[in-house]
A and B are shown apart, each in its own frame.
Chain A
Amino acid sequence: MLKLESISKTYADGTQALKNVSMEIGTGMVGLLGPNGAGKSSLMRTIATLQTADSGTVLLDGENVGETPNLLRRQLGYLPQHFGVYPHISCRGLLEYLAIMKGLNDRGKREQQIEQLLSLTNLSSMAHRQVRYFSGGMLQRFGVAQALLGDPKVLVLDEPTSGLDPAERLRLHNVLHDVAKTRLLLLSTHIVEDIEHLCSKTYILLSGEIVASGVTSSLFESLEGKIWQGVMASSEVPLDAKVLSQNLHYGEPVCRVYAEAQPNSNMKPVKPCLQDRYFLHLNGKAFGDHLC
């Protein structure tokens, strides 16, 4: 069990990245959702012991990670949002190095796991190539592979699907789903669908604060009967309805709104989703109210 108690973090330039964030994460996949700059990566870095919180504690099975960071590091698999790699070293060589650093000492087991991971991330045929020449998606898959090295009980993945093609994305979903059965996996992304598909529990982070949390499905169940969709521009939406999003469907504007009652006859009730809840929070200030 990973427990965050009132974590706050302000950077040297005055940016308050995290404000009193508290979380409890058990086995399974937990999603962290938020727009750019919401503080997701800051929270991830804090959990991954890459930075210390100004206040608050991170507890792993009741132990304060701040005092004994290696306690978490020994069980951590971490994928940062952006990362580079060393030059002049092959994909397999780098994984080998990282495995040893994580403590996978048995050569046979190490090689076996690396082979599995290469296969799992579809990098087997590129294993001999230098990672620095990998494309963005390949690098991302390499990142996932390195995070899964060893026996990580806590997986912290920051935007793992970014840059992946649809097939690889689905493949990764399956991997993560399998992994999360026995481990704690914190997934940060702003791709709402990923969380909706994968995570049993979700935290929504806005401006460094948790604005909503809970079982993912429960987060939008309450919106049942209040989400409407119609082919129209947002400017045509009645004033008492709150526009959540406007998509284009075959070139036609499709507006999705929140309203207690049907805004007009062109708008039909639709099944709510996590994205509705997310946009509702995202646009909360503009609406001038608090819906959480």
Chain B
Amino acid sequence: MLKLQLGSELQLQWRQPVFLILLLVAPLFGYFVGQGINSSQAELFQRFHLQQVVGSLSMMALPWLSVILAVSALFRDQHSNMCELVGALPLSQKKRQGLIVSVLLISIYVICIVAVCGVFVGVCVQAQTMPAPLTLFHVFFQLQGLLIMLALPALLFFLALFWLLRNVSAPPMILYLTGLLIFVSYMAMASASGSPLMAGSQVPDPIFKMFWSYLDWFGLTVLFTKDIEWEVFFLNRVVVLLAAVLAVSLALRWSTFNVWGSKKNTQSSASLGKSKALDVGPFKFFGCTPKPNSQFFALLRLQSSQLLLHPGALFMGLVWGVIIFAETYPSLHVAEMGASLQGVTMDAVNRFMWDLVPLFGSMLILFVGYSLTWRDQHYNFALVTETFPVSFVLVFFSRLVLLVVVLLIFLLVTCVASLVCQLMGDSAIQLSEYGRFVVYSGVPLAAKGVAFLALLSLVKQRVIALSFCVFILVLEFTPLPSLLGLLHPLFKPFATPLQEIDSILGYKPYVEGFWDFSLFWLLVSAALVFVSLMLNKARKWPLQIPKYGVALSIVLGLALFQISHLNHEIVKDGNQLSVVEQLQLLANYENSYSQFGDELVPNIDKVTTRVDLYPMQRKAEINGSYYLSNPHKKPIKQILVSEDWRSPVEYIQLEHESQVIYDAVQGQRIFQLESPLAPGQKTKLTFKLVLQQSGYQAIKSHKILTSEFIYLRAIPFFPALGYQGVREISNNDLRIEYGLSPRNKQTTEEKLEVRDRAKDRYQWSLLSTIISVPKGYQSFSQGELVAQWEQQDRVYRRYETESAVHRVQAFIATPAETETRLVSRLLLQVAYYPQHKENVTMTLDAMQQTVEFLSRFLGPFPGNTLTLIESPDAGPTGFALPQLILIGSKLGFRSRADAEYLFSHTYRRAVHETAHQWFGHLLGNGIQQDSAFLVESMAKYVELVLLEKHYGTEAMQALVDYETQRFLHAENHNREAPVSLVNAQSPHDKYSRATVVFSRLRAQLGDEPILAALSEIIELHRYPLHPASSVDFVNALIKQVPERRAFIEELLIQQVSVSDWLTQP
């Protein structure tokens, strides 16, 4: 009997269109996940990768899948008005509910199995060579096994939770909201616990991580550690199952109190006796004249009362306010660990504007649009309302107005919750920022809402209409477009180029792009509205094509015009290429030009540049000249000159007579010299470059062209001479994929051993720059300011380096103020925005102390001026160029160390970036095969020394502890074989591990031998001598303390697992 009932329920469930649609979509989604999560060929079929894909699939899809089908099944009787019929069946409520939930479980699990089949295909597609059938068989069952272990307990938990909610009379909306909360909270938890699924950049609190290891409903937290604690994993699975059992028992308990069905008024009507039942009485008809405005407001009044005065809506508003509060309040004043800032409205808004509001806002407008459009059908009242003399246009616009009202309320609740946080947190409130937030968040949401309304009105079948809308959301909020290779920003529907705001740029750089994108999406929505008005599902009468056709044509025409305008503006930022196209370009470059790797390249002795910066136009015009000479003993017959393919030069000319072969696709020019450039002979290469930024895309590193701040780095925009090895694809899998021969993996030591030492060359030049900016802007480039003059409302400054420096030119313009300090003959200056002066003195102290320390032990600073500039947070947090340092506003200038924290990260960061003037721009450049250790690791060493000097040993130890935690966290997820520190490239090695290693070296050897070794290699390898490598430092250190060779080698050279010695005292 039970079997029969189960079979019958299963048949019913599997006939539901939503089940069939999900069953069809599941393998496709699985395929994209399997194919989209990249891995090396070696790891492709390994457990870690497989659990990553199954984990991602579960995390992204299972909450949604469960809630959609749960609502469909648990509310089926109610939606079909079958409650009383079914309730009268000779089947207990518990048993019936149990049947439905069992079938739901089976159905969802079947969809999961199908999705995992898609994953399997997706993973196999990534494989260069297909493994043996037995391996494939094993992989397939491993995937299914992971599904059982990871997804099944979570699924049980979700269903039990939804069942419980259903039995406590929660409406479908609450179930959807719960699904959304499960989805979002898991993302947040995964991110906070450092799961590799969520980039894992955050260092989790150990207690929180342990707590989450037991409660993670997918069990991934434990699985993504290096040494899996299986007992914790199984305990976690048991905990999740117990939670499910608890929810089921509660649901069953409640089922006895609540019968699924609608309440009917059981009160009797007014008694007949009292009401003269058979007496009809007088009745008067009144003439009717439908007035659109009265109808419009009546519609509005009714729909708003239906929607907004609903207890569920009020509850949701409250929940939303709490979510915003919980998200904003704890982090309002947090800058980073051990540092806080005076959070202002902008910081509060940043907490929710970029993820929570778009996601929840989109869900809300979809829900509202759906409710408004299908309300009459849902309540079976359409047969009455559709006979009214009301035009569809009126009905549509009343819905539209209400949707906008709901959206405004949503944004208002957000603002109020945030304001409460600010008031409680004693934070400076800027109401205008909230106004901007409402506009910039509201416009795209409103455009989306209009489109949803139009689609929902247009399509007869509500499942199909909803599917269209959901597809739009999938494109917007998931990486599906990029997985499909659709990189144009318009493939992200209703997205705009707006980026997180900072105190310098605000929204300004993107405002123009925002409005142009918004206009386009509004036009798309308007077109959908017109199509909907012509063909809407409610209209059974002759199509209104002639009436709306003209308007539609105009809107479509404008939309097309807008597309072309957007494309034009996007190209201004640089040509758009997909990742695949870029890789293909790099592969072609290597194939076509690698023979130039052996060609002799002239030296760039001097670079003169004239840079005209136009902040308001977001434009830079650059005229440059390279003064070339042949430093070799052989003549140079041809010179390969590369340009950045995103920003081709406008003009380029070699003084030496030559023929030019230009490859526009690759941006390569071969100057074939009429007469070879003889040894010692000089020539000149001149070029002109115009760079623009339009604010239609996110600002990328090393090119910020805004009215508030300009930063341009010569690399990669200036022409480069010779074959550029850095353009080669390093990943072996990709090399094979793009037809290049794979490379043997070499350690740094091996690379250094086999390299052609003749190619080790400092890329140093004399730099002379004239930089012009409008009045009111400071401008900076490398060198000493030797002249300044004004001409036609522009200020010209001429910077010259007195000797050659590492040739990484940069040009900066900012309306900042400067504070200077003279240290011996070196001018230290900090350029800052007047409202962020608090840290300037500390920053100058850090620069001074670093310069004094390093000058004393390693030789003087190579230059006369060192400038540290406050930069927007859109740029790098900290970045050192020769003689110029950029530090982000938030962490470098606005934040301050917490009173109980032992040191200031602002100080530490300034020390680190100043240290790069020696480590990076004096040492550590010139050998392509080697850099990380001598640049970043050595700067960490300087941090340790300076922190100890400035703040004391405890502070230094605090930094060591901090970096140790960071290292252990990252190492936990690291699957690479152990590498030596000098060979390490990953951030957790070159920063965190280096800190720990140098703290040990200092503890065991002291600073003296380290500084002596550094001094020695600087002496022996200073420009223009042969550049130093990291191994040179190790040898120099061993030379200083030969008796500690083993210890030094263990820390710096040996490829051992660091965890082995890290925990030893």
Where the two chains meet, the residues of A that have a C-beta atom closer than 8 Å to any C-beta of B are: 45, 48-52, 66-67, 69-70, 73-74, 76, 78, 80, 82-89, 93, 97-98, 100-106, 109-110, 112-113, 116-117, 119-120, 122-126, 129, 132-135, 137-138, 143, 146, 148, 150-152, 167-168, 170-171, 174-175, 178-179
Contacts and interface: CB of A to CB of B under 8 A. Distances in A.
A122 B383 contact: no
A133 B264 contact: yes
B310 interface: yes
B294 A100 contact: yes
Interface string B385-397: 1111111000000
Interface in B234-292: 262-265, 269-270, 272, 275, 277-278, 280-291
Contacts of A85: 379, 381
Contact of A89 (B262, B305, B384, B390): B305
B387 A122 contact: no
A104 B290 CA distance: 7
A231 to B, nearest CB: 34
A102 B389 CA distance: 6
B101 to A, nearest CB: 27
B749 to A, nearest CB: 76
A97 B381 contact: no
B736 interface: no
A52 B289 CA distance: 25
A32 B730 CA distance: 83
Interface in B693-751: none
B1057 interface: no
A151 B387 contact: no
Nearest to A138: B269
Given A83-B383, A88-B310, A101-B385, A133 B305 contact: no
A197 B387 CA distance: 28
Given A69-B541, A105-B294, A120-B283, A86 B277 contact: no
B278 A74 contact: no
Given A100-B294, A105-B291, A178 B280 contact: yes
B856 interface: no
A175 B281 CA distance: 9
A74 B389 contact: yes
Given A86-B381, A101-B388, A174 B265 contact: no
A137 B282 contact: no
A148 B277 CA distance: 18
Contact of A113 (B286, B294, B387): B286
A167 B280 CA distance: 12
B3 interface: no
B379 A87 contact: yes
B706 to A, nearest CB: 51
A117 B282 CA distance: 10
A48 B386 CA distance: 9
Interface string B359-394: 000000000000000010001110111111111000
What does DSSP make chain B's interface, helix, strand, loop or mixed?
loop
A160 to B, nearest CB: 14
A49 B388 CA distance: 10
Contacts of B387: 48-50, 73, 76, 78
A167 B272 contact: yes
Contact of A135 (B265, B283, B291): B265
A116 B282 contact: yes
B381 A84 contact: yes
B1 interface: no
Contacts of A113: 284-286
10 contacts: A50-B540, A70-B389, A74-B290, A78-B387, A80-B383, A98-B384, A101-B298, A105-B294, A120-B283, A122-B270
Interface string B287-310: 111110011001101100110011
Contacts of B285: 113, 148, 150-152
B542 interface: yes
Given A45-B383, A119-B281, A138-B269, 16 more contacts: A48-B387, A66-B541, A67-B541, A69-B541, A85-B379, A86-B379, A87-B379, A97-B298, A98-B388, A101-B390, A105-B291, A123-B269, A126-B270, A150-B287, A151-B288, A179-B283
A125 B267 CA distance: 12
Nearest to B274: A125
A116 B542 CA distance: 38
Contact of A84 (B269, B380, B391): B380
Interface string B450-490: 00000000000000000000000000000000000000000
Given A86-B381, A100-B295, A74 B288 contact: yes
Nearest to A150: B288
B381 A106 contact: no
A49 B310 contact: no
Contact of B389 (A80, A82, A103, A143): A103
Contact of B298 (A87, A100, A122, A175): A100
Contacts of A69: 540-541
A129 B389 contact: no
A179 B384 CA distance: 20
Contact of B263 (A49, A73, A116, A133): A133
A74 B387 CA distance: 9
A55 B291 CA distance: 32
Contact of A103 (B290, B306, B381, B540): B290
Nearest to B303: A86
Given A97-B298, A135-B269, A171 B277 contact: yes
Q: Select the residue from B262, B269, B282, B299 with max chain A CB neighbours within 10 A.
A: B269
Nearest to B395: A101
Contacts of B275: 122, 124-125
B272 A50 contact: no
Given A49-B387, A85-B381, A170 B290 contact: no
B1057 to A, nearest CB: 65
Nearest to A71: B389
Interface string B832-871: 0000000000000000000000000000000000000000
A51 B290 contact: no
Most buried by B among A100, A129, A143: A100
Contacts of B288: 74, 102-105, 150-151
Top 5 closest A-B pairs, CB basis?
A84-B380, A103-B290, A103-B288, A133-B265, A80-B383
Contacts of A98: 384, 388
B290 A102 contact: yes
A116 B265 contact: no
A69 B538 CA distance: 13
Contacts of A52: 540-541
B223 to A, nearest CB: 46
Contact of B269 (A100, A112, A137): A137
B302 A89 contact: yes
A89 B385 CA distance: 15
A174 B277 contact: no
A74 B288 CA distance: 8
Contacts of B390: 101
B383 A50 contact: yes
A69 B388 CA distance: 10
A167 B541 contact: no
Nearest to A130: B265
Nearest to A80: B383
A168 B298 contact: no
A244 B885 CA distance: 103
A134 B266 CA distance: 8
Nearest to A153: B285
B384 A78 contact: yes
A170 B278 CA distance: 7
Contacts of B379: 84-87
B402 to A, nearest CB: 14
Given A100-B295, A126-B269, A133-B263, A146 B289 contact: no
Contact of B302 (A97, A143, A151): A97
A105 B289 contact: yes
Interface string B528-558: 0000000000001110000000000000000
Given A133-B263, A135-B265, A175-B280, A104 B286 contact: yes
